[in-house]
Amino acid sequence: MKILLIVLGAIALLILVVVVTGALLPKHHHVSRTASLRATQQQLFALIAGPQNWRPDVKHFETVPDASGRELVRETTSNGETITYELLDRVPPQSITRKIATEGLPYSGT
């Protein structure tokens, strides 16, 4: 009986630690990355904004028609996952902003 109480107490403590850790995590986060490359802004923008055939994990890349006028692209990865992205903003050759448009994924972002 004493062992059972110890095991149940350990499980309850573990659950409490997980809940408290999850509550302390931020709801929103921003990720950025910086790199120095030997290419012009125009070359990099064309690469990032164009077909993603340069990425080894992307097996298929296509533009998707949308009745509401949104610009969508769909990628199929090497593990078979299909993700659709919506273009939000394009300022050549400085920035491009896309949002994950696929619903029901365990992650999202812009």
Give the global pTM. 0.66
Quick: pLDDT tens for 31-82. Answer: 888 889 999 999 999 999 988 888 999 999 999 988 898 999 999 999 999 9
Tell me: the pLDDT tens digits for 76-103? 999 999 999 999 999 999 999 999 999 9
**How long a stretch of residues is the chain?**
110
- Distance from C-alpha of 11 to C-alpha of 43, rounded to nearest angstrom: 55
